Amino acid sequence: MARKARGARGSSLGVALVGTGFMGRAHANAWRQAPCFFDLAPRPVLQAVAGMKAAPTRTFAERWEVARASTDWKGVLRDPKVQLVDVLTPNHLHAPVAIAALKAGKHVACEKPLAGTLEDARAMAVAAAAARGRTFVWFNYRRCPAIGLARQLVREGRLGTIRQVRARYLQDWGGAATPMAWRFDAKLAGSGAHGDLNAHLVDLVRFTTGHEIAEVCGAIEATFVKSRRAGTRTSASTVDDATLFLARLSNGATASFEATRLATGNQNASQLELNGTKGSVRFDFERMNELAWWDHTLPARERGWSRIMCTDASHPWVGAYWPAAHLIGYEHCFTSMAADIARALCGQTPVLPLPDFADAFRTQCVLHAATVSARERRWVKPAEFA
């Protein structure tokens, strides 16, 4: 049984955001929308937001109706109105903020990847194991109804034994014209497309198949854009633009992973295909409301790819939103996850399992194994780093 939220004031769950960027907007919207669509008690309330600069943080707080704006995230952790801290900083700050929040007795939700380095991720997992607070990691694509259905089909045995997996995350925004940002600095991000995109893929494969990545091989990483504009100057871009690797799952299935920010013509193509002895499924986030399904148990003359519109009330989370085929979007993944976090904190069961720091650390071990494989050109077992 999940532990109930400690220190909740009445029926509210006080949430503090640490970070105000792209993810800040996505999470602020999610926490505000979740109780509008889902029957939640405690009801999430945005109590505080901490950012780097005072004026933009105040503007953020006003726009998203956050009670308090601050540039002191440590002070936010001392706020008795805050029960959960949502960490949305650049990767190098995940560990110090999350660990401090856990020590302050707060629940913690953290953006992915868990950290920029394996060492930081391990420290976070160790701190979580010793803390009273619950932990969560925002692998938001788990909350796509089509991904949820894929997981359910696998669990029901409809695909039979999984034999092959193909996972690709293709974007095209990281070309030479893209200016310097923290995501291109290895000291701040840890890695590039690998930690940003392959983290999602590894989590989705583990989540949908129920199998761990046992071995990694054939890895390659590449940095094509060596420097980027930073105002009137140029700065070195020190992360990978693309990382690809092969793997074997714990049940013996083979898998391939590809993540790139330079796949021209692909804006946000997070794609997953599972092939089993009884059937297959395909998913592409650019068509996120659909799941392609192949039923290999049918007579040969009747087999063919079919499209499932995952917008019926019988699909995960959809019943809280719109009628069938009234499509949901990117933001609903975050809203559904915020709702599931609130459920977990009041002792209820989320619609589908939520990743915690221990879970996300296993994904981090796979990412690290792929990096080692690429640089040392050898087979690597993620369990070596657990």
Listing DSSP states for 285-334 in one string gives: GGGTTEEEEEETTS-GGG---EEEE--STTSTTGGGS-STTS---HHHHH
Tally of CB atoms within 10 A around 373: 22
The whole-number pLDDT of residue 318 equals 98
pLDDT of residue 116: 97
For the chain, state the CA radius of gyration: 21
> Do 17 and 45 meet the contact criterion of CB atoms below 8 Å apart?
no
- DSSP annotation of 135 reads E
41, 5 Cβ separation under 8 angstroms:
no
First-to-final CA distance of the chain: 26
- DSSP, res 385: G
Q: Are 149 and 279 in contact (CB under 8 A)?
A: no
Average pLDDT of span 37-50? 96
Neighbours of 107 (CB within 10 A): 26
Query: pLDDT tens digits for 285-330?
Result: 999 999 999 999 999 999 999 999 999 999 999 999 999 999 999 9
Across the range 117-124, mean pLDDT stands at 98
Whole-number pLDDT of residue 11 = 80
Give tens-digit pLDDT for 65-103.
999 999 999 999 999 999 999 999 999 999 999 999 999
Average pLDDT over residues 43-64: 97
- Predicted confidence band at 3 (pLDDT cuts at 50, 70, 90)? very low
* pLDDT for 4 beyond 80: no
Q: How far is CA 124 from CA 102, 131, 136, 162, 192, in A?
A: 9, 10, 12, 32, 21
Q: What is the CATH number of domain 12-141?
A: 3.40.50.720
Q: Residue 5 pLDDT more than 80? A: no
- pLDDT score of 121: 98
Q: Which two tokens stand for residue 183?
A: 């995501």
The segment(s) of the chain belonging to CATH 3.30.360.10 are 145-287+289-323+356-376
* H or E element that contains 218: strand 213-222
Burial class for 143, CB neighbours closer than 10 Å (0-12, 13-18, 19+): buried
Mean pLDDT of 216-233: 96
- Identify which of 245, 240, 199, 196 has the alpha carbon closest to the alpha carbon of residue 222: 240
pTM of the predicted protein model = 0.96
Q: Using one digit for the tens of pLDDT, what is the confidence trace for 133-184?
A: 999 999 999 999 999 999 999 999 999 999 999 999 999 999 999 999 999 9
Domain with CATH 3.40.50.720 in the chain: 12-141
Q: What is the DSSP letter of 225?
A: -
Q: Is the pLDDT of residue 352 over 50?
A: yes
Mean pLDDT of the chain: 96
Give the pLDDT confidence score for residue 120 in this predicted structure: 98
Task: Give the model's pLDDT for residue 6.
Answer: 45
d(CA 56, CA 53): 6
Cβ pair 115, 124 in contact under 8 A: yes
Tokens for 287, please give them. Answer: 């068509």
Q: Other C-beta atoms within 10 Å of 24: how many?
A: 22
Q: Are strands 12-18 and 43-50 parallel, antiparallel or unpaired?
A: parallel
Task: Give the torsion sign (CA, 149, 151, 154, 159).
Answer: positive
**Which pLDDT tens digit goes with each residue over 247-278?**
999 999 999 999 999 999 999 999 999 999 99
Q: Is the pLDDT of residue 9 over 70?
A: no
Alpha-helical regions (H) of the chain? 22-37, 54-63, 73-77, 94-103, 118-130, 145-155, 186-189, 193, 199-209, 330-345, 357-376
The per-residue pLDDT for 10 is 54
The domain 145-287+289-323+356-376 is placed in CATH, from the list 3.40.1390.10, 3.20.20.70, 3.30.360.10, 3.40.50.720, at 3.30.360.10
SS3 383: helix
